[in-house]
Amino acid sequence: MRREYAGALIEGDLAATWSIQFGRWLGDAIAADLPEPNAMVLATADGQGRPGARTVLLKGYDEQGFVFYTNYDSRKGRELAANPHASAVFAWLPLQRQVRIDGVAAPVSRAETAEYFRVRPRGAQVGAWASPQSAVIGSRSELEAAVTATENRFAGTDDLPAPPNWGGYRLVPEAVEFWQGRESRLHDRLILCHLEWFADEGRPDLHAARDLTDLGLDELDSLTGHRAPLEAEHAALWVSRELHPAPDHRRVHGSAAEERV
Ligand SMILES: Cc1cc2nc3c(=O)[nH]c(=O)nc-3n(C[C@H](O)[C@H](O)[C@H](O)COP(=O)(O)O)c2cc1C
């Protein structure tokens, strides 16, 4: 199955910070009426490095990171407690776009959780109390009984508090990659990342390399682990010393990444 992609994301189009760029693309996804445009696939790994992925909904973002809500006792909650590194992907396929985030997730403050919990519909509030997320239960009727018990428990209460084991995480990015499908597999792939993250990808000595713009393509390829294309893909890398507010993006080079679809 092969189809050509018509969009473009060139360096000059990239916003000054990842959050502005993300906001533009999220806005495009909403305007295009895509289903669940704020859905992202979140990957975590346990203490042994075994990965797991699932969909969650983005409930907020700013320069600090991407916020989602969940049960802290869930599998993802337990995995993040053991290993806070996480990765998330927004796949806006009809727009031929993908945003990939690599970073570290930390619980948001209880005050932030409480503020969000207050505006959730009552049914969702009750569900957060009643559902032992990721735990195996005997039957659906067991869950429904827990919902009824929760409704009875809070019958006279207008404002349910957030359950202590439920709340938000903020995924603080170390790298945000914007991928735009282009014609002839010459896709655009622009990355905003910490220099440290870039170096950790394979060349620790780059911590000392202030100016990456002198790197040759071969060197860059070995740095990124990407090989020269058989099917060409164009990937531009932008490296910033600080992710937020991303003051000083450095154009490195166009590099080639192998990709097969
Ligand atoms: C469209 C969609 C949105 C979802 N949003 C959330 C969410 O915001 N928070 C959440 O905890 N689970 C959400 N889920 C359910 C998760 O994918 C997952 O089943 C659940 O969180 C348990 O995952 P875990 O056992 O890996 O922790 C969503 C699922 C779908 C399909």
Residue 165 lies in a domain: no
Ligand 1: residue whose CA is nearest its atom 22: 134
- Alpha carbon separation from 149 to 119, 143, 154 (Å, rounded): 22, 10, 9
Pick from 153, 172, 204: which residue ends a domain? 153
Strand 166-180 and strand 65-71: the pairing is: antiparallel
> Are residue 251 and residue 202 in the same domain, yes or no?
yes
Report pLDDT for 157. 87
Average pLDDT of the segment spanning 70-76: 96
Under the banding of pLDDT at 50, 70 and 90, the label for residue 133 is: confident
Residue 140 lies in a domain: yes
Average pLDDT of the segment spanning 44-50: 95
Q: State the distance from the centre of ligand 1 to the C-alpha of 136, rounded, in angstroms.
A: 15
Q: Is the CB of 195 under 6 A from ligand 1?
A: no
Residue 245 lies in a domain: yes
- Report residue 104: phi and psi, to 5°: -130, 130
Residue 128 lies in a domain: yes
> Are residue 205 and residue 245 in the same domain, yes or no?
yes
Range of the domain at 224: 184-261
Under the banding of pLDDT at 50, 70 and 90, the label for residue 55 is: very high
Residue 134 lies in a domain: yes
**Whole-number Å distance between alpha carbons of 185 and 260:** 9
Residue 55 lies in a domain: no
Residue showing tokens 């994301």: 9
- Number of structural domains found in the chain: 2
Q: Is the CB of 135 under 6 A from ligand 1?
A: no
Active site members: 185
pLDDT surpasses 80 at 260: no
Taken in order 239, 245, 248, 251, the sign of the CA dihedral is positive
Q: State the distance from the centre of ligand 1 to the C-alpha of 63, rounded, in angstroms.
A: 24
Pick from 153, 176, 210: which residue ends a domain? 153
- The H or E element that residue 147 is part of is helix 140-153
Under the banding of pLDDT at 50, 70 and 90, the label for residue 250 is: very low
Strand 51-57 and strand 60-62: the pairing is: unpaired
> Are residue 193 and residue 129 in the same domain, yes or no?
no
Pocket test for ligand 1, best of 55, 59, 74 (most atoms within 8 A of CB): 55
Report pLDDT for 34. 97
Residue 67 lies in a domain: no
- Ligand 1 atom closest to residue 71's alpha carbon, by position in its atom list: 11
> Are residue 191 and residue 145 in the same domain, yes or no?
no
Pocket test for ligand 1, best of 70, 72, 80, 136 (most atoms within 8 A of CB): 70
> Are residue 140 and residue 206 in the same domain, yes or no?
no
Residue 224 lies in a domain: yes
